Structure 1
Amino acid sequence: MMLMQAGYEPIAIRHDAGSTYAGRLEQWQAYGDPVPLACMVADCVVREQCWIGKIVSDIRRGHPIAGHARGIRE
């Protein structure tokens, strides 16, 4: 929600990253170190923005967008 309020698209934290997310969240909450969690979120933001850029590029080149459904990423 905070990302969307700042003008970013929502991000997806991969299911297999759940324990990593939990560990980084705990680092912030227990030890006051937000950097690992912030880096993880930043990586997700960059990945989502790149994905959106790819979709826009493909549309501009006339490629169909049907293959861009979530989960069909290369």
Structure 2
Amino acid sequence: MDKFLQIIGALICVAALSLMVFIMSASADRGDGVTLLLGMLPFGIPAVIGGVVLAAFGSMLEQLKAIRASLERQERP
């Protein structure tokens, strides 16, 4: 589950940002690029934060599994 969450978190970041860039650039006038980027920020920032949170949670699960395994090894004489 830990690797799955890390991969899904990274894919959410990439997919959401790619989708937002595609949608905003397709629907926007061919004007200023800065205005286009500023228009994408309200959609892109939460997607990136959500992906990072998922990936961090997956990493935390991986560390907890390693801690549990080491504790089980120490309990056995």
- TM-score by shorter chain over 0.5: no
TM range (shorter): 0.3 to 0.5
Relative contact order: is structure 1 or structure 2 higher (C-alpha 8 Å, sep ≥ 6)? 2
TM-score (norm 2): 0.42
Report the structure, 1 or 2, having the larger helix content.
Answer: 2
